[in-house]
Amino acid sequence: MSGPLLQLAGVHTHIGAYHILHGVDLEVSRGELTVLLGRNGAGKTTTLRSIMGLWHVSLGAIRFEDEDISALETPEIARRGIAYVPENMGIFADLTVCENLLLAARGARRAEDIDPGRLELIFGQFPALKRFWQHPAGLLSGGQKQMLAVARAIVEPRKLLLVDEPSKGLAPAIIQNMVGAVRELKRTDTTILLVEQNFNFARQVGDRVAVMDGGRIVHVGEMAALAADEALQQRLLGLSLAAHQ
């Protein structure tokens, strides 16, 4: 199949009385990692949640594998192979690490039912999860919780991963671990749309970049080009890479 895996065309989303997305146009190509950058309140998280059906789209279309999914319910969207990793370490604190992964591995009743190859990939990237396998996830550190959230999204092969600020609230050393994990994930040919505010993190993992402002996409291009152009960074994001290092 050619063409983009995901396509947003003129997407408007309202949350209650607030008009958050004002016609978002975005394409995510297969096998690529697209980073969605922008200031707080630009509409990045709302874009991910609109794709996932957690906020209903009021106008426009979201096409996934050439099918309009904008009117589908979230469980239907998830069944089509889209996984969402929410921000703020979106794990289930009362359940164990194992149970968190079992929830995402549909059809798996016990740990033995999880694809061993996938588990190997997860444990290879996040050894701490193996160590705390039977511990309540709420007892993990912030970084480990974020790792678990990512692991939950990749415990089964997904066509598209929506990841919301994986570096938020993490120590620099842990962020580097996360960079390694995301890179490893890219090798599995998973398509990823990643929301990020940490430009240093974003430039290390991103293939393409889309910048949002005021509920619209204001720039689309190669990540390498944005990383190399400080003037463009200043104009779009009000920052320079040097300031982030």
Q: Is 95 in the site for other proteins (CB under 8 A)?
A: yes
73 binds other proteins (CB under 8 A): yes
Question: Is 79 near other proteins (CB under 8 A)?
Answer: yes
Contacts (CB under 8 A) with other proteins, residues 137-196: 152
238 binds other proteins (CB under 8 A): no
Kindly tell me which residue out of 52, 170, 205, 223 binds other proteins, with binding defined by CB under 8 A. Answer: 52
Torsion, Cα 19 21 23 25, to 10 degrees, reads: 180
Contacts 24+ apart (CB under 8 A), 66-70: 66/1, 66/3, 70/11
Q: Is 215 in the site for other proteins (CB under 8 A)?
A: no
C-alpha dihedral sign at 47, 52, 57, 59: positive
Q: Is 64 in the site for other proteins (CB under 8 A)?
A: no
Nearer to other proteins, 74 or 240 (CB): 74
Cβ burial, residue 102 (10 Å; 0-12/13-18/19+): buried
Question: Is the Cβ of residue 103 or residue 241 nearer to other proteins in the bound state?
Answer: 103
**Residue corresponding to tokens 């842990």:** 174
Both tokens of 9, joined, read: 């065309």
**With respect to other proteins, which residue has the nearer C-beta, 84 or 199?**
84
Please pick, from the candidates 3, 56, 59, 106, the single residue that binds other proteins as defined by CB under 8 A: 106
From 80-88, 123-131, 192-200, 212-220, give the range in contact with other proteins by CB under 8 A.
Answer: 80-88
29 binds other proteins (CB under 8 A): no
What is the smallest separation between the CB atom of 132 and other proteins, expressed in angstroms?
13
The residue to which tokens 């059906």 are assigned = 53
Site for other proteins in 108-137 (CB under 8 A): 108-109
Q: Which helix (H) or strand (E) segment is 208 a member of?
A: strand 208-213
Q: Do residues 244 and 200 touch, judged by C-beta distance below 8 A?
A: yes
Among residues 17, 18, 67, 75, the one that binds other proteins under rule CB under 8 A: 75
**Number of residues forming the site for other proteins (CB under 8 A):** 24
163: three-class secondary structure by DSSP: strand
Measured from the CB atom, the residue of 83 and 185 that comes closer to other proteins is: 83
Residue 54 gets which letter from DSSP? S
Nearer to other proteins, 16 or 75 (CB): 75
d(CA 92, CA 198): 25
Paired strand residues for 161: 83, 192
Distance of CA 191 to the CA centre of its chain: 10
Site residues, other proteins (CB under 8 A): 52, 54, 73-75, 77-79, 83-84, 86, 90, 92-95, 99, 102-104, 106, 108-109, 152
